[in-house]
Amino acid sequence: MDKQTVYLDAVVTNPAIEIGAYTMYNDFVNDPVDFEKNNVLYHYPINKDRLIIGRFCSIACGAKFIFTSANHTMSSLSTYPFPLFFEEWDLPISEVAKAWDNKGDIVIGNDVWIGYEAVILSGVRIGDGAIIGTRAVVTKDVEPYTIVGGIPAKPIRKRYDQDTIELLEAMRWWDLPQEQLRRLLPVIRNGDVKELAEAFGKL
């Protein structure tokens, strides 16, 4: 049995992290069960931000999701997080969250592949079917079915033409019940979207 790979919805317990069915994480360095501790960083309840990952995503070893509290505020003349030490500086505790700039949720679509040691920053949305290259640093939203790479990550190419992307987005095969999906699997795996559309229409 492969002990380096887990379905994340079976191991993540934080209610602010939502993981879709069959989304997997592989880790050959650390225990993949510790994904929440090792890979979801600066994710504190005070910010009320969420990590949302869709169904059938593949997340490679060392991928990181870096949240708001890593973003020291740029609105102050100093980036030092004085509000974190509110007692020492006679600041109200309500000021704590002003130590950083809140960028919001990280939202990952369905069937997304996130490569080895990629970094996704707070506020980023990644569309269905996207591929995030190895060690990419994603600072901006990624369109569906787009391959990105680099620091900062930039589009390399679309996986399909726009008509194919729209058809895949409309079908949303990842939402099908397992038995229907099992019947469609040979068609999905052969890569012919027209054949998939025909089979989908017969379900």
Q: Is 72 assigned a catalytic role?
A: yes
Q: What is the rounded distance in angstroms from the CA atom of residue 189 to the CA atom of residue 193?
A: 10
Q: Which of 9, 33, 38, 72 is catalytic?
A: 72
- CA–CA separation, 62 and 54 (whole Å): 19
- Following DSSP, what letter does each residue of 133-179 receive, concatenated? -TT-EE-S-B-TTEEEETTTTEEEEESS-HHHHHHHHHH-GGGS-HH
Please identify every residue annotated as catalytic.
72
